[in-house]
Amino acid sequence: MYLIDTHTHIYDQQFSLDRNETVQRALAAGVKMMLLPNVDVLTIAPMLELHEQYPDYTRMMMGLQPEEVKEDYKKMLTVMEKELERGIYVGVGEVGLDFYWDSTFEKEQLDAFETQLDWATQLHLPLSIHCRNAFDTMVRILEKKQDGGLRGIMHCFTGTAEESRVYLELGFHLGLGGVTTYKNCGVKDFLSHLPLDRIVLETDAPYLAPVPCRGKRNEPAFLVHTAQKIAEFLQIPVEELVTTTTANARDLFQL
């Protein structure tokens, strides 16, 4: 089995005591590639360090996560734009809009998001997009910016059937993770109507561990549980789901 975790933050401090063991558990579980999305300027160094340690099993993305957009966001974007010029990143992420906790920096988030969408277009790189409490605004921007060149993943997709249709029509893949295994997640109700060639798997570790690990710190090895549950919902062999989603991720990120 060859699984790709398309979104994991295992360079995070929560893994400082057992990072190497976390990687080994992932590999033992069949998760042979882990894509690392950046968060802010402080996460660049630990992310690079992890990739240098495991160059065969990790790839990196560069971006400014929406919750980290504050007064100094333009300075952070300048640093990240220079990083992208190095040509070592497979995607632009984690980027997006998040108005869940606070909309103080809504204007700045919009500017940062549009700037990073432009980077993705210019560099022909896929995106990892975070969207929370911002669907209508997100779609308006994506529709404006989509010139046929934008592609990527709607990370941690937990929306409605209609929202999935809109994102798919805009040319994006849906990232399904641990939340899909939760009893109150509505995605499973229309999972069978989603095109399998537009789904990828992710953990968002250390967050959102799947059933039966819910409540624990999430890690890439737990991706197996998400894959098994989604295959069960779809009534297909887990091997078929893994083969297809891995091929989707390879194609999208040119792995």
Per-residue model confidence as pLDDT tens digits over 64-90: 999 999 999 999 999 999 999 999 999
Q: Write out the two tokens for 99.
A: 């108005």
* pLDDT given for residue 20 in this prediction: 98
Instruction: Please state the φ and ψ torsions of residue 150, each to the nearest 5 degrees.
Output: -75, 135
Name the DSSP class of 199.
E
Residue 93 has pLDDT above 90, yes or no: yes
Higher per-residue confidence, 101 vs 146: 146
Which residues, 6+ apart, have CB-to-CB distance to 161 below 8 Å? 189, 190, 193
Q: Is the peptide bond before 126 cis (omega within 30 degrees of 0)?
A: no
Pick the CATH number of 3-253 from 3.20.20.140, 3.10.129.10, 3.20.20.370, 3.40.640.10: 3.20.20.140
| pLDDT at residue 102, as a whole number | 81
Q: Mutual orientation of helices 19-29 and 223-234 as an angle, nearest 10°? A: 30
Query: Strands across the sheet with 31-36, in order?
Result: 3-5, 31-36, 58-62, 91-98, 127-132, 152-154, 173-176, 199-201
* pLDDT at position 101: 84
State the CB neighbour count (10 A cutoff) for residue 211: 16
Q: Is the pLDDT of residue 103 over 90?
A: no
